[in-house]
Amino acid sequence: RPLILAASTHDGEDAPILQAFAQSGAAARLVIAPRHVERGPAIAALASQAGLAAALRSADPAAAADVLVADTLGELGLWYRLASLAIIGGGFVEGPGGHNPLEPARLGCPFVSGPHVANWPVFHDLARAGATRLVEPAGLPPLMAQAADACDLRSMADQARAFVEAGDGAARAAVPRILALL
């Protein structure tokens, strides 16, 4: 099944993401990797309340549940590589200000986030370049439904990778000049 990743979620984001997943009818698996792994059991309980079979990765890494809560550390890069769509947390509630969009962009993973991304203004540049979308939770179900046949999402990922590679090239070109000044 295609994999949809909800990465670095905060309290208040999981329930709307789970609701969107249930509404989407997506023939996919949802992996929620919370920003704070100790929230794992509470997220699994929310999934169960939404009528979704849920498992904790720390308890059963091979579980065949609809929702796998990645309550483990050091695996976000793996999840981005496996995901057909990533939903980056921290942007669906006020306060956190979003999370790093450059990691999924570099790994070729299509991604979206919520509108509250003040700590990462590059989101707006990425959106203008067609490399991501900033959506309210109500906009997630159709995106999740697309995860199985992701031509449009693939195009977003390609645009994101090109955007980041251009910035990386500019940074690489600046390094010799900075070293010369030192």
Tens-binned pLDDT, residue by residue, of the chain (182 aa): 899 999 999 999 999 999 999 999 988 999 999 999 999 999 999 999 999 999 999 998 777 899 999 999 999 999 999 999 999 999 999 999 999 999 999 999 999 999 999 999 999 999 999 999 999 999 999 999 988 776 778 889 999 999 999 988 888 888 999 999 99
Q: Write the CA distances from 4 to 68, 85, 108, 173, integer angstroms.
A: 10, 5, 14, 36
Instruction: Give the whole-angstrom CA distance, residue 16 versus residue 25.
Output: 15
pLDDT for 128 equals: 96
Three-state SS for 6? Answer: strand
Strands (E), the chain: 3-9, 29-34, 54-56, 67-69, 85-88, 111-113, 133-134
Contact 29/3 with Cβ under 8 angstroms?
A: yes
Given a contact cutoff of 8 angstroms between Cβ atoms, the answer to whether 147 and 4 are in contact is: yes
Burial class of 144 by CB neighbour count within 10 A (0 to 12, 13 to 18, 19+): buried
pLDDT score of 154: 86
What per-residue confidence (pLDDT) applies to 62? 72
Count CA atoms within 13 Å of residue 52 on its CB side: 31
- DSSP 3-state assignment of 45? helix
